[in-house]
Amino acid sequence: MLVSTVEQIRQMEIRGAGRIARAAAGALADHATVVQSTELNDFVGEMEQAANLLVATRPTAVSLPNAVHLVMAGVQTARTLEEARSGIIASASQFITSSEQAVQRIASIGARHIRDGDVVMTHCNSEAALACILEAHRQGKEIEVYATEVRPRNQGLVTIRTLNDAGIRTSYIVDSAVRSFINEVDLVLVGADAISVNGAVVNKIGTAQMALAAHEARVNLVVAAETYKFAPLTILGNLIEIEERPAEEVLTASIASTLPHVRVRNPAFDVTPADYVDLIITEEGAIPPEMAYIIIRDHLGWSIEQFDRPAH
């Protein structure tokens, strides 16, 4: 299960920041049950190796290290192997449940920001953003969605299937048509892979361009993101790494081989500055991007002071 989850995340069979985080938590719990060690230290070493393998699968979605950190939190202080094992299993299951509840809570808060008759534009395939749209529709609001194609991996296909299955009127557009349609839209609603302490939102490549178009057209941009999408280490000045994926996702190897002077750049995510973000819907409430530090400090439990204290 560990190896297959690692491979599925790497190959993007499991994708989307929330799903990746829950899959990693589940894989750690599963690994804890099958590890053969008889010594606590060996067990902890094995689990740390597994945690590192999972975290290395995709570098941008901070939900992944955040989930792994939460699941592994008790392992260093466990007194026995059984305590360590059961601690990991319990925290993984707690993380998965609270993550699912967070998405539900975001749906009910986010749905309040979608009015009857609204046209919503979304990008990529975000469980949290879609949950808000589905909840607004469930409440009987007449809504319409513009969904982008999302080159090169076409996550938009997953989005339009979900919207279609729910019976929501949807227009499917190529990524470059965003500005052409932005004036027909009341609200842009997207998810996040990571949110920095300055409120900048990292999400699927193309989000920043959509945010620019929305800003110019005075259309609000709302981000739906669980609190574990906030990146604690950005309080130390760490930057969020933007994953760059293989060239073959954009240009087949046979075409590329005929173009020796051309290189493909394929970043999977981009950064939308806080100035272009009107609101972030978390399970703790709807907040302005400027409140990111409060989430990191009060909800995730990290503060700059803990790094400033002199070592004893």
Nearer to ligand RUB, 91 or 126 (CB): 126
* E strand intervals along the chain: 119-122, 144-148, 169-173, 187-190, 194-195, 201-204, 220-224, 269-272, 279-282, 285-287
Tokens of 64: 């992944």
- Report which secondary-structure segment, H or E, holds 155: none
Least gap, CB of 192 to ligand RUB (angstroms): 6
Task: Give me the catalytic one of 30, 124, 132, 278.
Answer: 124
Radius of gyration of the chain (CA): 20
Least gap, CB of 168 to ligand RUB (angstroms): 17
149 belongs to the binding site for ligand RUB (CB under 6 A): no
Nearer to ligand RUB, 18 or 65 (CB): 18
What is the Cβ-side half-sphere exposure of residue 35, based on CA atoms within 13 angstroms? 28
Structure-token match 């193309």, residue found:
206
Q: Exactly one of 29, 189, 268, 296 binds ligand RUB (CB under 6 A); which one?
A: 268
Q: Exactly one of 5, 159, 203, 282 binds ligand RUB (CB under 6 A); which one?
A: 203
The verdict on whether 132 is a catalytic residue reads: no
Nearer to ligand RUB, 43 or 135 (CB): 135
Q: Exactly one of 5, 6, 15, 43 binds ligand RUB (CB under 6 A); which one?
A: 15
| Residue 70 three-state SS | helix
Least gap, CB of 133 to ligand RUB (angstroms): 12
Q: Exactly one of 66, 99, 126, 272 binds ligand RUB (CB under 6 A); which one?
A: 126
Q: Exactly one of 148, 155, 159, 227 binds ligand RUB (CB under 6 A); which one?
A: 155
Total number of residues binding ligand RUB (CB under 6 A)? 17
User: What CA–CA distances, in Å, run from 137 to 110, 163, 256, 283?
Assistant: 12, 10, 44, 20
Q: Select the residue whose beta carbon is closest to ligand RUB and give its number.
A: 191
Alpha helices by DSSP H, 151-297: 156-166, 178-181, 207-216, 253-256, 292-294
Stretch that binds ligand RUB, among 48-56, 66-74, 81-89, 188-196 (CB under 6 A): 188-196
Nearer to ligand RUB, 190 or 213 (CB): 190
Nearest Cα residue to 53 out of 8, 100, 99, 98:
8
Segment 102 to 121, residues that bind ligand RUB, using CB under 6 A: none
Query: How far is the C-alpha of 17 from the C-alpha of 24, rounded, in Å?
Result: 11
Query: How far is the C-alpha of 42 from the C-alpha of 2, rounded, in Å?
Result: 17
Nearer to ligand RUB, 123 or 215 (CB): 123
Query: How far is the C-alpha of 312 from the C-alpha of 159, rounded, in Å?
Result: 52
Q: Exactly one of 118, 193, 278, 283 binds ligand RUB (CB under 6 A); which one?
A: 193
Distance between first and last Cα of the chain? 41
Q: Exactly one of 17, 68, 195, 281 binds ligand RUB (CB under 6 A); which one?
A: 17
Nearest Cα residue to 230 out of 180, 273, 196:
196
Segment 211 to 250, residues that bind ligand RUB, using CB under 6 A: none
What residues act catalytically? 124, 193
| Contacting positions for ligand RUB (CB under 6 A) | 15-19, 61, 124, 126-128, 155, 191-193, 203-204, 268
